[in-house]
Structure 1
Amino acid sequence: MAVVRKDDSLKKVSSFADLAGKRIIVPPAGLYNIVSSLEAYNKKNPSKASKIVYSQAEEADAIRQVENGTGDVYFLDGPSYYYLKDKAGIDAKRIDIGEAVESKFSADSHAYLIFSKDQTQLRDDVNKALKQVIKDGTATTISKKWFGEDLTGSSGD
């Protein structure tokens, strides 16, 4: 997802062309896949290019840069947005990004738990518990409580 100022007319980033002329705030050492995707698009499409603005700001402050007009767009994940909206009082407008753009940003956006080879019982117990909370809806309930929507990516199967 992305955030923009509340008065920005941008409703969704369906393609990089939607970002033409926009200042995209990115951290200098992170989000390489976002930066490299934007740089490649800008190089191929100079008339529709966005401006990449590198910022040392923490995530909440980067969003405040969008709110105060220093930048136009900031990309982040759903859990971070909802956490910062609640805890840091951010007031930027949340917009979705289309699948075509999202696929350029991350080939794999999943998180994994890693166990050492000798922790097979722990691995099996954790996998069983995760399957159960997904199946019984607990994961969805927790996600909705803390993030305002179901971010589990699961249909409950």
Structure 2
Amino acid sequence: MRILTDVMKRNNYEAEPMLHSCGITINSHFTQVQGRMLSAPRLKVGNGDDVTPRNGRWNFNHKKFVEPARIENWAVVNFSAYCDIRGLCRDLAKFGEMKGISISPPMEVFEESPQLQRAPPAVQVEKMFEQIQPKFPANPPRFLLCLLPDRKNCDIYG
């Protein structure tokens, strides 16, 4: 609370000419309301167990979902040149199974053309959709797992 109060003082809103000319005033005191601390909710997991948070976090290790989903009819879209897609899909299925989720192998894996890796992001995505759509004219994937490059300065992130 002290940090917020200090920021309000430092910004010196009462001396701001634009605010005065618009008839806007900002109270330097915060509104006080009555409140209470709620206990953290316990979450129900598979086998009827409850998970109680510790230190503000729920630990789902060795827990399964109450109603796990089945993931079928999905595909992988790879915008990253350096990725072991088969290993990633295998690990995803393994970890899903640990949570009670059944994950079928992907219907298809789409690799980005190396010539498009330097294209603008909108072009990369559009060309990828042009590659995907003809493969599934009647039954498109319900889920696309898109693998993005491991570069923080990559434009495809938006």
Same fold (TM over 0.5): no
Indicate the structure with greater helix content: 1
Which structure has the larger Rg over C-alpha atoms?
2
TM-score under structure 2 length normalisation: 0.26
Q: Which has the higher contact order (CA 8 A, sep 6+)?
A: 1
